[in-house]
Amino acid sequence: MLGYYEYFPQKRMNVSVKETGESKYKILVAEKDFEAGDVIYKEDPLVVALDSDLQQMGTHCSHCLRLIHKGMAIKPESDRLNAIYCSKECQVASKAESQNLLFTLESPLPPGMDQGLSSLTKPKREEAQKVFTDYLKSTGKTNPLLLARLLARQISLETAKFTPNQPGGIVEPPLTDEGSPGYGISDHIERLRYIDVNALEAERKMITEVLGSALPGLESTLPEDKHALAMGKIAYNAFGVCYSGGRDDKPVSTARPEDQERTRTPYGTSRQIGSGLYVVSAYLAHSCEPNVRPSFSSGTAELHLVASRAIKKGDQLTMAFVDVTQHPDETAEQARRRRRFELARGWRFKCECSRCVSDVTDEAEGDLGVGRDESKVEAAVSRVESGQAGIMPDTD
């Protein structure tokens, strides 16, 4: 029986997902040789969230994260998140995928199906959206927005099924090769690794209210266990989007170090302009001596995976989740300690890459506060993959 990983990632990406020995850890492997500087693949994010301060300033496209020149932006009239767009295409896509449901008072249902619902739900929707956007503004968080957009995108796909072939309607993102069973966003998300995080009930309620006030019934979309799991996946897998060297004016988070949002980026989360979820790149493991790096050289959230050195077919691809360079004011040992603490806090593992092992000195490291690797996969997924259950993918 052909499984999910026969069709995912698509062949055109030049990589495949393989399992490592005993631990059954999923890794990304090159399917051909590459020279240093080669682009291995380009990947669009499933969902993105602009950093909160940039969202408020209205300087970047809310959909592709492009910097917009003054006066060139498309600014929708009633958008509670203060979203602006670089193009009509970005506006249409964003609206259809999630923005309409989350941050406007327009009907979340296809034309002809609303039957007065949106005028009835208006006051509650307005209030719920205000609470959520105020929260995002005051905390500067992006992970709750990534989650809301992920849920909204899946809901929008469901409602679009009522009226197929609608112009401007949305379809599942093409993430698997032709001939595959009907894998959808939920199938991709289900397989991602996660860590245990402190999922806040207040955030769950806000998202639930935004969804439930728009479409009665949706308030049950996000029970507590699902919320914790989804936030753990976002925490583990989100990438920092950073182009042209990134920025140095990102507001410093006032959250406790253990509650700060961290994204995978070798440039440092403090240089990013936003975060995104990339389902293929999510399989890249960390190394302090990586052979690939994410690049955003198109000046958008499109991720280009670039080879940092020559790579042979069959090699595992690794990236640096954090800034692994040695800063001018650091010794090698201090740099080692800094990156290992960041990895332990953000991704809950003790790095055992060859550089970490060879850089080790007599100096005591101190307790990193994590086990060897605390990330995990959903129990249902590991059961299916070890052949203990015969669950078929969603084909409806």
Q: Which residues between 238 and 297 bind Zn ion (CB under 5 A)?
A: 288
Strand ranges (DSSP E) for the chain? 15-20, 25-30, 39-43, 47-50, 239-241, 274-277, 285-286, 292-295, 303-307, 318-319
Interacting span for Zn ion (CB under 5 A) from 95-103, 105-113, 352-360, 362-370: 352-360
Q: From residue 146, give the alpha-carbon distance in Å to each of 58, 99, 108, 324, 329.
A: 18, 12, 19, 26, 35
Q: How far is the CB of 94 from Zn ion (least distance, A)?
A: 8
Parallel, antiparallel, or unpaired for β 318-319 and 285-286? Answer: parallel
Q: Do the beta carbons of residue 135 and residue 203 sit within 8 Å?
A: yes
Q: How far is the CB of 143 from Zn ion (least distance, A)?
A: 22
Residues paired with 285 in a beta bridge: 318
Q: How far is the CB of 208 from Zn ion (least distance, A)?
A: 29
Interface residue with Zn ion, options 61, 151, 210, 277 (CB under 5 A): 61
Q: Does 353 bind Zn ion (CB under 5 A)?
A: yes
- Site mask for Zn ion (CB under 5 A), range 71-110, x = bound: ---------------x---x--------------------
Q: Does 68 bind Zn ion (CB under 5 A)?
A: no
- 285: nearest Cα among 31, 25, 7: 25
For Zn ion, the closer CB: 40 or 353: 353
Question: Can you spell out the DSSP letters for 174-187?
Answer: --S-TT-----HHH
Number of chain positions touching Zn ion (CB under 5 A): 10
Q: How far is the CB of 68 from Zn ion (least distance, A)?
A: 8
Q: Does 199 bind Zn ion (CB under 5 A)?
A: no
For Zn ion, the closer CB: 30 or 64: 64
Q: How far apart, in Å, do the first and last CA atoms of the chain sit?
A: 20
Q: Does 351 bind Zn ion (CB under 5 A)?
A: yes
Write out the residues near Zn ion by the rule CB under 5 A. Answer: 61, 63-64, 66, 86, 90, 288, 351, 353, 356
